[in-house]
Structure 1
Amino acid sequence: MAIDGKVALVTGAAMGIGLAIAKRLAADGAAIAMVDLNGDGVEKAAEELRASGAKVTTFVADVSKRDQVFAAVENCAKELGGLDIMVNNAGIAGMCPIMEITEDEMNRMQAINANSVLWGIQAAVAQFRKAGTKGKIINASSIAGHDGFPNLAAYCVSKFAVRSLTQSAAKEFGAEGITVNAYCPGVVATPLWKELDEEFAEKTGSGEGDTFEAFAAGAVLGRPQQGEDVANQVSWMAGPDSDFMTGQAVIVDGGMVFR
């Protein structure tokens, strides 16, 4: 197993892409710290991993709060003996035309999707330095961090910010042997996209599932993306084969956005 004996922390791990990532990294041999705002949900998800033989701890945190992210990392180090891989996965989405975006909505999107990544980078680097170890930081961006999409401007801004943070952090911490990269999914069949589809239906009059199907149809591989598709990429980023890659925001979307 590629990361046997390593410790990985995954935020937003109760469901969707985060849960898929936690499962895959556990299968790869890592002990997993699962962090989520939904305490009941993350504990239920953790029991599923424990049943497969994985070593798992959970922590409830609002990742938009710096002190709570640091507390999550400290708990991980205490319970699992350290930290080697930080996956800043937690995030939200929201549909809103540019002229209707409110200050509160913009601030909330930025706080959860982008600020949380900054806090995760800071907390992980602090732990790596404390332990005198190298480490890997892996951030959730999106194809919406490469291309702007109509009615998703606030979300796109937050995901472009993650790409910028990833590049800046890679340059700041590379000399310490810390790599920082991002994964950029497309249209993934998760509860988050179900909620987004419902927002489009409410505001545009489209039918249930129509927006998801329309977006997913843009993938040249001809099927909707699954959480496991993203987890496969994160698995490689977490393992030794990616040791010489840093500062990159890699698209895995079935062929929707090309760079």
Structure 2
Amino acid sequence: MSDTETGRNALVTGASRGIGRAIALRLADDGHDVAVNDVAANAAGLEEVVGLIREKGRRSAALLGDVSAEADVEAIVQDAAGTLGRLDIMVANAGIAQVLPLLEVSVEDWDRMMAINLRGVFLCYKAAAKRMIEQGGGGKIIGAASIVAHRPFAMLGHYSASKWGVRGLTQAAAMEWARHGITVNAYCPGIVGTAMWDLIDEKLSESEGLQRGGAIRKYSDLIHLGRVSVPEDVAKFVSYLASPDSDYMTGQSVMIDGGIQFA
């Protein structure tokens, strides 16, 4: 597709690996130009994603910055819109996980989790909405929630709290920005084959007296479709949220979990 056929430009945070990488590449496949963001420590992976997007014939740029810092987020959004010409799609994907019993979560642990997973999404939503309104309105804002925004897991208390926050923020933002033609939705992955879930499995398995891999196998047995998801499963749904097909959908936080049935 040519630029005139799509006219859609996207920004994806936390895009150097995992779900963010898959989302960025899928949006490029859909015909969007895609700016990608991550922290400086992940610069090499981010540049690789930029190269892959350009190989697909789409424009891209690597934008380094910390989503928990307001000045960084404002610069990232400004640079993305400046490089691509405008901003039509914001995917606030960046996030972290930590597995600890609540009695061992320090104030510093709590604050870091909220800074990246919740404040980071808030700052991305806010900066993107301002830009979209300045452009005349319209746009897609999409955030990373989680299965734990619907059903918390033990040992993931502060992570769960941050993702419940994203779910509430998404609903409120959708209500406020609908009059500007902006939709706001979130995706809620279940168990995904990523480095984040490797960490979660390691800690949960240890706490439950299982060998490494045991926790993922335990929860995978509850998935109706019989397998752990891959980042591309999530990217397919984000592709829908970024497309005109979802124009009448807003304020939703949708599970992409293969149908997990908890007892």
Is TM more than 0.5 here?
yes
Question: Which secondary structure state, in structure 2, belongs to the residue aligned with residue 33 of structure 1?
Answer: strand
Residue 243 (str. 1) matches residue 244 (str. 2): no
Spell out the pairing of 1:136-147 with structure 2 (5 A cutoff).
136-147=140-151
Q: Secondary structure at the match of 1:183?
A: strand
State the distance in 1 between where 2:244 and 2:56 align. 24
Partner residue in 1 for 2:18: 16
- Equivalent position of 2:37 in the other structure: 35
Equivalent in the alignment of 1:169: 173
The answer as to whether partners of 1:143 and 1:257 remain within 8 angstroms in 2 is no
Q: d(CA) in 2 for partners of 1:114 and 1:159?
A: 7
Residue among 152, 159, 166 paired with 2:156: 152
Distance 1:43 1:192 in 2: 21
Q: Is the 8 A contact 1:4 1:28 kept in 2?
A: no
Q: Determine the C-alpha separation between the residues in 2 that align with 1:193 and 1:92.
A: 11
Q: Deviations over 1:56-115 (max 9, x none)?
A: 111011111111111110000111101000000011111111111110101111111111
AA paired with 1:59?
L
2:28 equivalent in structure 1:
26
CA RMSD of aligned residues (A): 1.5
Q: Residue type matched to 1:12 in 2?
A: G
Alpha-carbon deviation of 1:50? 1.6
* C-alpha distance in 1 between matches for 2:261 and 2:18: 22
Q: Give the match for residue 221 of structure 1.
A: 225
Deviations 1:162-186 (A, max 9, x none): 0000011011111111110001110
Residue 129, structure 1, aligned to residue 160, structure 2: no
1:197 Cα shift?
Answer: 2.0
Aligned with 1:69 (options 68, 73, 77): 73
CA distance in 2, matches of 1:124, 1:257: 36
1:102 aligns with 2:119: no
Task: Name which of structure 1's ranges 118-127 and 200-209 shifts more when overlaid on structure 2.
Answer: 200-209
Cα pair 2:190 2:256 within 8 Å, conserved: yes
Give the Å deviation of 1:218.
1.7
CA distance in 2, matches of 1:235, 1:246: 15
Distance in structure 2 (CA, Å) of the matches to 1:212 and 1:46:
32
Question: Aligned with 1:229: secondary structure?
Answer: helix
Q: Which whole-Å deviations, capped at 9, do the CAs of 1:105-162 have from their partners, x for residues lacking one?
A: 0111111111111000110011112211311100110110001111110110000000
State the identity %: 46
What TM-score comes out, normalization by structure 2 length?
0.94
Aligned length: 257
- Give the CA deviation at 1:245: 0.7
Runs of 4+ deviating beyond 4 Å: 201-205
